[in-house]
Structure 1
Amino acid sequence: MISVAIVVLLSSCFYSDFGTATATDTITSSQFIRDPESIISSGSKFKLGFFSPDGNFTNRYIGIWYNKGGSANKTVVWVANRNKPLIDSSGIFTISEDGNLVVLNGKKQVHWSSNVSSLANNSNTRAQLLDSGNLVLHDNISQVSIWDSFQEPTDTFYSEMKVSTDLRTGKKVQLTSWRSLSNPSIGSFSAGLDSFTIPEVFIWINGTRPYWRSGPWNGRYFIGIPDMNSVYLDGFNLGEDHQKGTRYLTFAFADNDVFFALTPQGNLEERAWVDGKAHLKIYFFYPTNDCDVYGKCGAFGSCNSQKIPICSCLLGFEPKNAEDWNRGNWSGG
């Protein structure tokens, strides 16, 4: 952990809930949870259950959160029905007849499904919440994993998870921001690994437009992140799964209470539990200033966050559109 970093107490993204937790870490067709019940991973690190972001029970979601910070607060790392909330407290989280995990309302209408095809019946599957924070759907006969929440992340990247890119199709396992602090539906920003010859981490706006990049991976760290060489040495690992045709990024720090979250404003924040694991702090965030924003000053423009205005043209060039430039829109170069 970096002692010289700017440290900010994290006061947002905590949500109130007073549901009861069962002793099990498993969901089956006969062992399901109703709002406001929850389950806890075997080592008590994570909890899964129903929550409301604004605490007023208007919208209800199934999520996973750290089992820390006090019983009335939660730091949500994954949301199932993020785009289709329940509108009351009649929700159920269970295994359906086709063997998939489902979120149902009081009328048994599906608000979310793990959506795995070719499952025989519900007696052959069970879901388990692991101490890694991963929710895994198992086939009871083969004992193999057939779906897990790490493959469909929300806004949080934590230890043992892999963000990846399929080198053949370009399909990504990536983070997607919440729309706002009170609305976990998919927001404007996403973050993941780009499939260039030399990999980089990108934050995108609306899925395609670059907003920030880490700089290329040099075999040990991303060269565009200041101090990563000394800070994260041996923490991150970039690898390839040749059988699946994917390239992936994962991390493991000595302090396993470190994680990264993509905010609704497009910042990728490093967060960690401190003070006896009762509070969260933000240690780093990217982009760190306006000049870190991809293409802020456009082609042949130079950015200096210490100057006003921050953008200027390189020697021998002038603004492409002087009116836009004077209004502070420098992206045209």
Structure 2
Amino acid sequence: MSAEKTSFYIPLSIIFVLLVSPNIQHSLGGDTLSWCQSLTGDQTLVSKEGHFELGFFSPGNSKKYYIGIWYKKVSPQTVIWVANREVPISNTSSAELKMTENGNLALSSSRLVWSTKSTSYPANSTVAVILDTGNLVLRNKSNSSAIIWQSFDHPTDTWVPGGGVGMNKITGEYQSLISWKNFEDPSPGPFIYTIDPSGLNQFLLQWNGIETYWSSGVWNGHAYSGIPGMDQSPYFVSNFTDNNERKQCTLTFNMKDAYTRGMLDSSGQAKQWLWTNDSQKWAVVGSQPADPCDIYSVCGTFWPLRQQQQKHFALAPKVFEPVSFYRMEPE
């Protein structure tokens, strides 16, 4: 007796859509990029537990493409880091992210677009890994604790738990947040969130890196004096480190089934966002300046703002919504 055969028919049109759709991204099959591997087109790397994804993206309706890191389980796509924010590429068909012969990670598209630019290492001695913290690290292939370069040392407009904002005392480099120009253009905007270069243990919001329009107040051992209530939440714990290597602020996040991120938006306001599995959406739980009158000279004459700067802050009462720091109910 012959065995019956069952045939399955999949329309060619469906196969075509699955293969070429620009909105469908395909994992390269792990969290690591090694020698002789490359990331192209819609291929991605996904962190071990599936929290973060790295690949090419195009913000909003933009026709420009960037290498970035975003939350894998959050919709809509929320980007926390951009590699080539100043040098976008026009398409991904000819672009590739790969390990170079000198052990660095590089993005090229007929020319070099971006690179980790660390010390040279022998070929096949390093790997790039996307971690479940959202940190992209370049590390020794045979020693995972030997970090050569990491994206946490080069933030864009966002920081997440595990990362820090401050400065490296050894290299002199600052880990500052710089706003996007707008929601479709991640190139550096006019606003920066940085540690006070004068040496005070506080953070500043500046316009064009020149004019300070808000300060956190000095760290008093458990909070910043200018941010009332920031030490009253059990879910968000700020830590300030000042040692021989670094001076920085980090955040410990104590909530299950949730994500949080600090972001300096294109209006010049620093916001703390919260996403939970239950809500399935982002909510603002803290913002600075929390009130338009916290901005120097908006409600008084602390010092005169220059005419060009006033154009940005004239709309402050409309743009800035007062939000108490780490307020837990959604907007």
Q: How would you bin the TM-score normalised by the shorter chain?
A: 0.7 to 0.9
Partner residue in 2 for 1:42: 48
Q: 1:291 to 1:44 in 2, by over 3 A?
A: same
Does residue 54 (structure 1) correspond to residue 57 (structure 2)? The answer is: no
5+ long unaligned stretches in structure 2: 1-21, 305-309, 315-331
Report the residue type matching 2:151 in the other structure: S
Report the residue type matching 2:194 in the other structure: G
- The 8 Å contact of residues 178 and 263 in structure 1, kept in 2 or not, is answered as yes
- The 8 Å contact of residues 165 and 195 in structure 1, kept in 2 or not, is answered as no
5+ long unaligned stretches in structure 1: 1-15, 302-318, 320-324
Tell me the SS of whatever aligns to 1:84: coil
Q: 1:168 to 1:292 in 2, by over 3 A?
A: farther
Report the residue type matching 2:164 in the other structure: K
TM-score when normalising by structure 2: 0.78
Partner residue in 2 for 1:289: 291
Partner residue in 2 for 1:84: 87
Q: Give the superposition deviation at 1:22.
A: 2.6
Structure 1 stretch displaced more, 24-33 or 191-200: 191-200
Q: How does 1:208-223 map to 2 (within 5 A)?
A: 208-223=210-225
Q: Give the superposition deviation at 1:295.
A: 4.0
Report the residue type matching 1:120 in the other structure: Y
C-alpha offsets along residues 100-149 of structure 1, whole Å, 9 cap, x if unaligned? 111111x2x111111113x1333111100000000000122554110000
Q: How many residues align?
A: 282
Report the residue type matching 2:104 in the other structure: N
Does residue 121 (structure 1) correspond to residue 122 (structure 2)? The answer is: yes
Report the residue type matching 1:104 in the other structure: S
Partner residue in 2 for 1:145: 147
- The 8 Å contact of residues 108 and 114 in structure 2, kept in 1 or not, is answered as yes
Q: Return the alpha-carbon distance in structure 1 between the equivalents of residues 197 and 222 of structure 2.
A: 17
Q: Return the alpha-carbon distance in structure 2 between the equivalents of residues 290 and 114 of structure 1.
A: 39
Does residue 252 (structure 1) correspond to residue 252 (structure 2)? The answer is: yes
- The 8 Å contact of residues 50 and 73 in structure 2, kept in 1 or not, is answered as no
Q: Return the alpha-carbon distance in structure 2 between the equivalents of residues 45 and 277 of structure 1.
A: 17
Does residue 236 (structure 1) correspond to residue 238 (structure 2)? The answer is: yes
Aligned Cα root-mean-square deviation (Å): 2.5
Partner residue in 1 for 2:17: none
Report the residue type matching 1:66 in the other structure: Y
Q: 1:240 to 1:225 in 2, by over 3 A?
A: same
- The 8 Å contact of residues 220 and 233 in structure 1, kept in 2 or not, is answered as no
Report the residue type matching 2:66 in the other structure: Y
Structure 1 stretch displaced more, 178-187 or 21-30: 21-30
Tell me the SS of whatever aligns to 2:232: helix
Tell me the SS of whatever aligns to 1:230: coil
Q: 1:193 to 1:267 in 2, by over 3 A?
A: same
- The 8 Å contact of residues 46 and 54 in structure 2, kept in 1 or not, is answered as yes
Q: Give the superposition deviation at 1:226.
A: 2.3
Tell me the SS of whatever aligns to 2:286: strand
Percent identity, please. Answer: 31
C-alpha offsets along residues 52-71 of structure 1, whole Å, 9 cap, x if unaligned? 00245x1111000011234x
- Greater length-normalized contact order (CA 8 Å, ≥ 6 residues apart): 1
Q: Give the superposition deviation at 1:270.
A: 0.7
Q: Return the alpha-carbon distance in structure 2 between the equivalents of residues 121 and 249 of structure 1.
A: 35
Q: Return the alpha-carbon distance in structure 2 between the equivalents of residues 233 and 276 of structure 1.
A: 16
Partner residue in 2 for 1:31: 37
C-alpha offsets along residues 289-325 of structure 1, whole Å, 9 cap, x if unaligned? 2211134356568xxxxxxxxxxxxxxxxx9xxxxx9
